[in-house]
Amino acid sequence: MPEFPDIYILRHGQTEWNLQKKYQGQLNSPLTALGQAQARQQGEILRAELQGRHLPAFTSPLGCAAETAGLALSPLGQRAQPDSRLKEVYFGAWEGKTYKEVFGAEDIDRTENRFEKYFSSPAGEDFQSIQSRCRAFLDDLEGESIVITHGITSRILRGIWLGLSPEAMLDLPIGQGCVYHLHSGTERCLQTGQLISPLEREALDAPAHGP
């Protein structure tokens, strides 16, 4: 029997800082026009999948996730409850800096030592801390739910749910404009053909945009 209820996990839509390849963390960057369209697309995916069912919904209170939640849940006629445990990992002194400024690489998801590049920022949050708050959130779920969060937090939540090692968690994709459905011990990516260029299609299957 699964340890946790089924969940639908959404990453926020594309932000200005995603485009600029910056560490976003717990600072906010607004959604781009594409990011807003991706959030609406997630809403259509949920509406088609749920077929009129209303599930409890929870969101990170950070601006880009809250905006995504509003746009994605509008077709369902509901709102999400903010939960601070769904915030992105705190990157400390790196927040607002580009990956290249910190590590000299433009795409840290495709480099070695990714744990160092996500969890070793001066005054930042370590892996054990974010894993603990994600586990606490999952432990408190009382049934099937919708969750709107961020790239790294999405990976940790899904990794805990799937029983993965910390290293395997960072290999999970973090596409935007799709919905990850965790059900019967497995994960499937729900998506449509809209708003997906070849590069964006790749991003659904490989974590190309970072946190």
pLDDT at 2: 61
Provide block-wise average pLDDT over 10 residues at a time, the chain (211 residues). Answer: 88 95 94 96 96 96 98 96 98 94 81 84 96 98 98 97 95 95 96 56 44 65
> Which pLDDT value is given to residue 200?
47
Q: To 5 degrees, how large is the angle CA 14–CA 83–CA 7?
A: 70
Within a domain: 20:
yes
Does residue 160 belong to any structural domain of this protein? yes
CATH number at residue 74: 3.40.50.1240
> Residue 72 sits in which domain range?
7-205
- Domain count of the chain? 1
Nearest Cα neighbor of 150 from 51, 48, 67 is 67
Catalytic residue among 88, 125, 181, 200: 88
Would residue 181 show up in a list of annotated catalytic residues for this protein?
no
The pTM of the full predicted model, rounded to 2 decimals, is: 0.89
Distances (CA, A) of 135 to 15, 68, 77: 26, 23, 29
Give domain status of residue 2, yes or no.
no
pLDDT at 103: 87
Flag whether 1 is in a domain: no
Any catalytic annotation for residue 44? Answer: no
Question: Torsion angle of alpha carbons 162, 106, 206, 144, nearest 10°?
Answer: 40
Residue 163 lies inside a defined structural domain of this protein: yes
pLDDT at 105: 77
Nearest partner of 86 among 37, 149, 164, 156, judged by Cα: 149
Q: Is residue 33 part of a domain?
A: yes
- Examine residue 211 and state whether it is found in any structural domain, yes or no: no
pLDDT at residue 193, rounded to an integer: 62
